[in-house]
């Protein structure tokens, strides 16, 4: 069968978008070049690997894929093999891969960024070096294609961990019991319907927010003012005198806000900020896809959320923190306390130590646990009216 020459064969390019070539050979090369840009390194077929647990061999079945790296593009086809011996039984891990020639290889070093580009990995084999026998294996590969689903997998797991997918949208108090939210955006994977901006939804500023109030099981009302109640094991109870609650504020990608009752009642703001992080909190199932903004703390006598009886603390990753008011200086539980300006005073304030005056004798009046210090000595009151003096060692 004779080959039809492409040279001189012309195409109608009036509807061509990506490759504007009218000559057939040039068009084919342009299409090939465009396809190459989308190629990566990874497996393109399913496979079922096995190992001989308690033995020294494994099986790698038929698999195909591709490698696209700085070394070039290679189509990988492996016919499969059984009873392959693990090369190094003194290493706890062996990584199995196919190189650019479709040859099965093994390495004991953790794959580098360059390895993931130049090699098509299929599995990791675990070995007990004490017995030189296989313990188990796990699949290890780059799945070729299905990139969007892979990204959705990552997104869904991050969302399940409560990662705050938002920018800006700063929450602030008001001279009443409502609150305002500045302009900003939320990320919801595939949540816009716009292929050119598929994930980010932008919102204008909102003054005196209307929100839905939720209990742990129900939607209670649609309101503006922060409520001075808390959820006590399902029973909605008014705050006690001068006590605090930390309500959780959420927002959906639709733009709707939700507040769910806090599930603890605290004596002061400091305890409330620490307590909300360890409450055995039961979230309303309707909030599974909502973004947590943070906690609105409010005291039972509050009349204005921009005053000293309320404070909003945004939920963030790490210890950067933040507050809607000047009273947001209480340390949240989980902070590493690196922001303390006076560690000794802080220890005193929380009762870890109590400072006393330097005693003139062991019989001076003191309280158990008090500490005092001078240039040469540290004084510790070990029993009522009994001081111990410890010389300060010097560096030599």
Q: Are residues 12 and 74 in the same domain?
A: no
Cβ contact 64:84 at 8 Å: no
Residues 107-151: pLDDT tens digits? 999 999 999 999 999 999 999 999 999 999 999 999 988 888 889
Q: Are residues 60 and 78 in the same domain?
A: yes
Measure the CA dihedral 291/293/299/301, to 10°: -90
Instruction: Report which of residues 229 and 321 the model is more confident about.
Output: 229
Q: Lowest-confidence range among 226-235, 319-328, 356-365?
A: 319-328
Q: Are residues 284 and 205 in the same domain?
A: yes
Q: Are residues 353 and 303 in the same domain?
A: no
Q: Where does the pLDDT of residue 384 fall: very low under 50, low under 70, confident under 90, or very high at 90 and above?
A: low
Q: Are residues 8 and 52 in the same domain?
A: no
Q: Are residues 200 and 302 in the same domain?
A: yes
Assigned domain for 158 exists? no
> 3-class SS at 143?
strand
Range of the domain at 384: 343-391
Q: Are residues 289 and 225 in the same domain?
A: yes
Residue 53 structure tokens? 């647990």
Determine the Cα–Cα distance for residues 273 and 311; give it in Å rounded to an integer.
Answer: 10
Q: Where does the pLDDT of residue 4 fall: very low under 50, low under 70, confident under 90, or very high at 90 and above?
A: low
How much of the chain, in percent, has pLDDT values that exceed 70? 84
Q: Where does the pLDDT of residue 161 fall: very low under 50, low under 70, confident under 90, or very high at 90 and above?
A: confident
Q: Are residues 350 and 216 in the same domain?
A: no
Assigned domain for 11 exists? yes
Residues 258-316: pLDDT tens digits? 999 999 999 999 999 999 999 889 999 999 889 999 999 999 999 999 999 999 999 98
Q: What angle do CA 145, 148, 152 make, to 5 degrees?
A: 130
Q: Are residues 366 and 302 in the same domain?
A: no
Residues 29-83: pLDDT tens digits? 888 887 887 788 999 999 999 999 999 999 999 999 999 999 999 999 999 999 9
Which residue, of 274, 296, 314, is where some domain finishes?
314
Determine the Cα–Cα distance for residues 64 and 45; give it in Å rounded to an integer.
Answer: 6
How much of the chain, in percent, has pLDDT values that exceed 90? 61
Per the structure, the count of domains in the chain is 4
Determine the Cα–Cα distance for residues 289 and 155; give it in Å rounded to an integer.
Answer: 12
pLDDT for the residue 339 = 45
Pure H helices in the chain: 24-37, 113-118, 147-160, 269-275, 343-349
Least Cα distance to 69 among 31, 116, 30 occurs for 116
């Amino acid at each position: 069968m004779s080959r039809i020459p492409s040279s001189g064969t012309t195409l109608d390019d009036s509807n061509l978008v990506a490759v504007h070539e009218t000559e057939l050979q040039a068009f084919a090369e342009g299409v090939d070049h465009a396809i190459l840009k989308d190629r990566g390194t990874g497996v393109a077929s399913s496979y079922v690997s096995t190992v001989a647990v308690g033995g020294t061999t494994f099986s790698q079945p038929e698999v195909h894929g591709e490698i696209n790296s700085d070394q070039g593009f290679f189509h990988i086809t492996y016919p499969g093999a059984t009873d392959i011996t693990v090369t190094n039984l003194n290493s706890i891990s062996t990584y199995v891969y196919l190189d650019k020639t479709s040859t099965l290889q093994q390495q004991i070093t953790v794959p580098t960024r360059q390895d993931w580009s130049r090699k098509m990995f299929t599995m990791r084999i675990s070995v007990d070096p004490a017995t030189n026998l296989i313990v188990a294996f796990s699949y290890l590969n780059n799945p070729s294609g299905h990139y969007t689903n892979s990204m959705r997998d990552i997104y869904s797991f991050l969302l399940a961990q409560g990662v705050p997918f938002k920018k800006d949208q700063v929450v602030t108090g008001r001279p009443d019991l409502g609150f305002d939210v500045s302009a900003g955006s939320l990320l919801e994977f595939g949540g816009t319907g716009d292929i050119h901006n598929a994930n980010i939804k932008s919102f204008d500023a909102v003054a005196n927010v209307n929100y839905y109030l939720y209990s742990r099981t129900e939607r209670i009302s649609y309101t503006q003012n922060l409520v001075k109640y808390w959820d006590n094991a399902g029973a909605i109870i008014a705050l006690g005198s001068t006590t605090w609650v930390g309500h959780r504020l959420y927002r959906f990608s639709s733009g709707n806000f939700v507040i769910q009752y806090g599930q603890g009642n605290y004596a002061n703001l400091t305890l409330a900020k620490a307590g909300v992080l360890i409450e055995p909190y039961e979230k309303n199932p309707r909030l599974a896809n909502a973004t947590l903004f943070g906690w609105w703390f409010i005291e039972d006598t509050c009349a204005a959320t921009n005053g000293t009886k309320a404070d909003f603390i945004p939920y963030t990753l790490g210890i950067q923190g933040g507050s809607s008011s000047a009273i947001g200086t209480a340390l949240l539980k989980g902070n590493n306390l690196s922001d303390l300006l006076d560690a000794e005073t802080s220890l005193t304030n929380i009762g870890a130590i109590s400072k006393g005056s330097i005693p003139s004798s062991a019989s001076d009046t003191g309280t158990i646990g008090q500490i005092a210090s001078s240039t040469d000595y540290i004084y510790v009151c070990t029993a009522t009216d009994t001081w111990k003096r410890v010389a300060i060692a010097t560096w030599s």
